[in-house]
């Protein structure tokens, strides 16, 4: 079985400050990792994904994430946030085995960017 833990339910930050949203996963096999963003009353949009290769992954809107296999983490970072980044962010995992064939999501982190 696989699971995802997002350690912070809410993260308040001032505009132009850096931010890190934390994500840890648990799986008995190798995984693929994703970050999605959701604006109010909308569906989810892919920010970035790690499938293989470089552990530092760059995504849309200036976000990046680093896969750390030893710490089973995939934290999301942005060096300078904007008001428009206010949204809910979800970390998700899928496994490389032939068992569960759908993404497992964390509980989400609400990023609140203040002026």
Partner 1 sequence: DGGITQSPKYLFRKEGQNVTLSCEQNLNHDAMYWYRQDPGQGLRLIYYSQIVNDFQKGDIAEGYSVSREKKESFPLTVTSAQKNPTAFYLCASSITQTSGGGELFFGEGSRLTVL
Residues that bind partner 1 (CB under 8 A): 4, 6, 9, 32, 34, 36, 41-46, 49, 51, 90, 92, 94, 101-108
We find the least distance from the C-beta atom of residue 106 to partner 1, in angstroms, to be: 5
Closest CA to 64 of 51, 74, 77, 54: 77
Closest CA to 19 of 105, 92, 66, 82: 82
Closest CA to 8 of 95, 106, 115: 106
> What is the residue whose two structure tokens read 């993260």?
11
We find the least distance from the C-beta atom of residue 44 to partner 1, in angstroms, to be: 5
- How far apart are alpha carbons 73 and 111 in whole angstroms? 19
- How far apart are alpha carbons 66 and 69 in whole angstroms? 10
Closer residue to partner 1, CB minimum distance, 13 or 103: 103
Closer residue to partner 1, CB minimum distance, 15 or 61: 61
We find the least distance from the C-beta atom of residue 84 to partner 1, in angstroms, to be: 19
Closer residue to partner 1, CB minimum distance, 15 or 66: 66
Closer residue to partner 1, CB minimum distance, 70 or 101: 101
């Amino acid at each position: 079985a696989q699971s995802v833990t997002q350690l912070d339910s809410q993260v308040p930050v001032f505009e132009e400050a850096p931010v890190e949203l934390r994500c840890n996963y648990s799986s008995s096999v190798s995984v693929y990792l994703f970050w999605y963003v959701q604006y109010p009353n909308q569906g989810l949009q892919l920010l970035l994904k790690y499938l293989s290769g470089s552990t530092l992954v760059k995504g849309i809107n200036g976000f990046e994430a680093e896969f750390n296999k030893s710490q089973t983490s995939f934290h999301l970072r942005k060096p300078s946030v904007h008001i428009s980044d206010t949204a809910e962010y979800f970390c998700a995992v899928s496994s490389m085995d032939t068992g569960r064939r759908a993404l497992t999501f964390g509980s989400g982190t609400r990023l609140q960017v203040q002026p």
